[in-house]
Chain A
């Protein structure tokens, strides 16, 4: 299933520790917070 924005830079926020960061949006890749290793990482949309 195609997902809009794949391969482009996006903002992410960890919903465990609150850390925000920028990374490439890859829907087929597991997301992990670089700070606390949680997977509760939300892709922020503006």
Chain B
């Protein structure tokens, strides 16, 4: 009963109730490019790269496949001139922010996106929210969050929590498409983490002198 019959790129696909178009496509081995999607996390719909054309009753609209739910008799197209053009522009905008990110570069090649179409304003963070959402939803530590808004929005660690949790975790690090997260971590660590409490056995002065000698 709960099976939903629909079409993706001309292929008959049976989706389950509550499936997003992206999940339905995945199951049918049809790939849709994504950046902010992660299977363990709730749909976020931030990067918009997964947009597709959805046709219903003869009308076509552009929807974001990671949040749009499967519907009966929907006809989905994952590539078209229009979609490719939008993805190209999105990638060009992303490249202005994160010119050296391999994942973005790979997709840019696929869609013919030009690196210099928009003036570079490298901020490295592309606001995919993967680290923020992973820490909140999976690790449940909330060690990192967004601050500020608009073009000044950025990720920011809560030093007290990060000092306790991150060193032994680092699970969100590989998720970052641009490596900015690692840089932000090094920075917060250097600026705010307190040095490890000294071993009470060792005299502080001795320790300082030993370290000084080592360097020589």
- Do A and B bind? no
